[in-house]
Amino acid sequence: MTEYTVEFVGTGETIEVSDKQTILKACIEAGIAQEYSCRVGMCLACSAEIVEGEVTQPAARGLTEAEREDYALTCMARPQSDLKLDRGVYPPSIEQDAADAAAAADDD
Instruction: Kindly list the residues in this chain that would bind ligand FES in the complex (CB under 6 A).
Output: 36-39, 41-46, 62, 73, 75
Distance from C-alpha of 78 to C-alpha of 76, rounded to nearest angstrom? 7
Strand order in the sheet with 47-52: 13-18, 3-8, 83-87, 47-52, 71-73
Distance from C-alpha of 90 to C-alpha of 108, rounded to nearest angstrom? 28
Q: Are 13 and 23 in contact (CB under 8 A)?
A: no
The minimum distance between CB 104 and ligand FES, in angstroms, equals 21
The minimum distance between CB 63 and ligand FES, in angstroms, equals 9
The minimum distance between CB 107 and ligand FES, in angstroms, equals 27
The minimum distance between CB 94 and ligand FES, in angstroms, equals 10
- Residue 87's beta-bridge partner residues? 48
**Residue whose C-beta lies closest to ligand FES:** 75
Cβ-based nearer residue to ligand FES, 15 or 23: 23
